[in-house]
Amino acid sequence: MSRLSQIESFIKPCVDVISTFVHTQITVVDEELNRICGTNFYKEVPEKFRRKSSVFFQKVLISGYPKLVTQVREDPYCEECKSREICTIHAELGYPIDYQGEIIGVIGIAATETEEANYLIENQERLIEFMKYLGILIANQLESVEQTEKLEQQLSEVSQATARYHIMGSSPKMKEMIKMGYTVANSDSTVLLTGESGTGKEEFAKFLHANSKRNKGPMIAVNCGAIPDNLIESELFGYEGGSFTGAKKGGAIGKFELADKGTLFLDEVGELPLMAQTKLLRVLQERKIERIGGTKEIPVNIRIVAATNKNLREMVKNRAFREDLYYRLSVIPMEIPPLRERGEDIKELAYYFLRDYNKILHKNIHGFDRQAEEVLNTYEWPGNVRELKNVVEFLVNMVQGDLITVGDLPQYMVWAESITERKGKTLNQMLQNYEKSILESYIKDTKNREEKMEAAKKLGISQATLYRKLSQYDL
């Protein structure tokens, strides 16, 4: 599709309006010489998959200058045209459409009668001005459309980039986090991600790396809490052969070297022993490492993103974490909020994970019923996003229907929601809530009056009482 065909619906009415003022026949062709639109004589050409235009327009495209021909059968501009001998055009004016320095089409004005030809010749300067402004109008509209498409593409890429790492949400706190993430992604300054377990610190680190200038390089993740104290230094900095009992013959490179020209993610950095903290501080200061048993300093070009769910400030006070290292790590501090403070995001994340696991597990579960959504929203989520993801995976595995109900949810979530609900409520309010939930469970699958009568019988109440209570609870 040519660029002009993208704005065909804009060009056509413009051409129609201008043709009523200039009393001639107008057409617009694209860079492939396909007609975009035309009036009167030009309308004889089919609007879809138009045939090629004349050689005259092709030469205007190539030259990039306006051109008027008054003797079509004799003018050199038309000598290569196959229709030259049978052409009914007396005079024709072509004007190139310039878009950002590139000729992308031609505006043509044709006269098929002697009177029209005389008018065209006498008023060619005025008509060229008309065509010039029409060309500017078309170019401006095309720029507007392309800018809009570019913006939509960028927004789509942003959405995909954030969703890929489960970094999404419409809550104010999460919007601010994402905005800050894009701001600092290209910096080489150290980032310290803090937040409760399960909030997505590693996912956010991946997001920062993916949107940085280092995204072509590696991202190496190290869980500092999962490596024994006696191995942490060799894991991070590597070692030379024979430097300790059990060392490989040729030695081994550490995570810092592996992450060269990329990002090193130090998860659970608060678990680092003090000796390793000292060496890490030196690397941050000098950007050089020294392997265990080695004497040579090796420069490393890395960006460090660290994460912890511990209170490092408190650890500094207790002398469990080096103060100077803390300040080196927290150049750009970012605290990821817990899920309970992102109420607006719970449903969005739940449905995102639902779509994900539907694909993985070949299911077709459409969503959650209202009561289930209420439980999801009121549950405290102590395990944060990780817990929500695991709950959805469990539900997609277990649910056989196409809708997740409150009865499908893990019992601990329902009990927790019930306790939360009961706090601060009177006995009468709690009884009403209980009655409402029972009524909902009995009528949710009823489709007609007879089925509702059957539900009333099972509940041991009259049909009138049932309808009154349904009205009372807006069911």
Indicate whether 50 and 195 sit together in one domain: no
Q: How many CB atoms lie within 10 A of CB 109?
A: 27
Task: Please state the separation of Cα 433 from the chain's center in Å.
Answer: 40
Q: pLDDT tier at 83 (50, 70, 90 boundaries)?
A: low
User: Does an H or E element contain 363, and which?
Assistant: none
Indicate whether 186 and 119 sit together in one domain: no
The residues with which 367 forms a beta bridge, in sequence order, are: 403
Is 155 a member of any domain?
no
Distance CA 178, CA 170 (A): 10
Distance CA 123, CA 133 (A): 16
Q: Which domain CATH number covers 20?
A: 3.30.450.40
Q: Decide which of 283, 304, 335 is a domain's last residue.
A: 335
Q: Decide which of 268, 303, 335 is a domain's last residue.
A: 335
pTM above 0.75, yes or no: no
Indicate whether 322 and 288 sit together in one domain: yes
Distance CA 122, CA 240 (A): 90
Indicate whether 346 and 323 sit together in one domain: no
Which DSSP category does 220 fall into?
E
Residue 200 clears pLDDT 50, i.e. is over it: yes
Indicate whether 270 and 407 sit together in one domain: no
pLDDT in tens, 350-385: 999 999 999 999 999 999 999 899 999 989 999 999
Distance CA 195, CA 334 (A): 9
Is 163 a member of any domain?
no
Q: What is the identity of the amino acid at 334?
A: M
Look at residue 436 in the predicted model and tell me its pLDDT: 80
Indicate whether 362 and 457 sit together in one domain: yes
Cα–Cα distances in angstroms (integers) from residue 352 to residues 29, 163, 169, 342, 362, in the given order: 46, 8, 11, 15, 15
Indicate whether 253 and 214 sit together in one domain: yes
Is 245 a member of any domain?
yes
Q: pLDDT tier at 263 (50, 70, 90 boundaries)?
A: very high
Beta strands in 258-360 (DSSP E): 262-267, 288-290, 297-299, 302-308, 332-335
Indicate whether 132 and 196 sit together in one domain: no
Is 10 a member of any domain?
yes
Number of domains in the chain: 3
Range list of H helices, 211-331? 232-237, 255-258, 274-286, 312-317, 323-329
The residues with which 240 forms a beta bridge, in sequence order, are: none
Which DSSP category does 336 fall into?
P
Indicate whether 353 and 330 sit together in one domain: no
Give the residue with greater pLDDT, 95 vs 444: 95
Indicate whether 25 and 130 sit together in one domain: yes
pLDDT in tens, 7-17: 989 998 888 88
Is 153 a member of any domain?
no
Rounded to an integer, the average pLDDT of 63-74 is 82
Cα–Cα distances in angstroms (integers) from residue 353 to residues 26, 35, 129, 411, in the given order: 55, 48, 59, 20
* Parent domain of 289: 172-335
Q: Which domain CATH number covers 207?
A: 3.40.50.300
Q: What is the identity of the amino acid at 133?
A: Y
Q: Decide which of 335, 359, 391 is a domain's last residue.
A: 335
Residue 3 clears pLDDT 70, i.e. is over it: yes
Distance CA 293, CA 69 (A): 86
Is 345 a member of any domain?
yes
pLDDT in tens, 90-119: 888 999 999 998 999 999 988 888 888 888
Is 137 a member of any domain?
yes
Look at residue 107 in the predicted model and tell me its pLDDT: 93
Give the residue with greater pLDDT, 148 vs 329: 329
Cα–Cα distances in angstroms (integers) from residue 306 to residues 152, 184, 233, in the given order: 33, 14, 16
Look at residue 285 in the predicted model and tell me its pLDDT: 92
Is 156 a member of any domain?
no
Indicate whether 312 and 405 sit together in one domain: no
Indicate whether 219 and 310 sit together in one domain: yes
Give the residue with greater pLDDT, 278 vs 440: 278
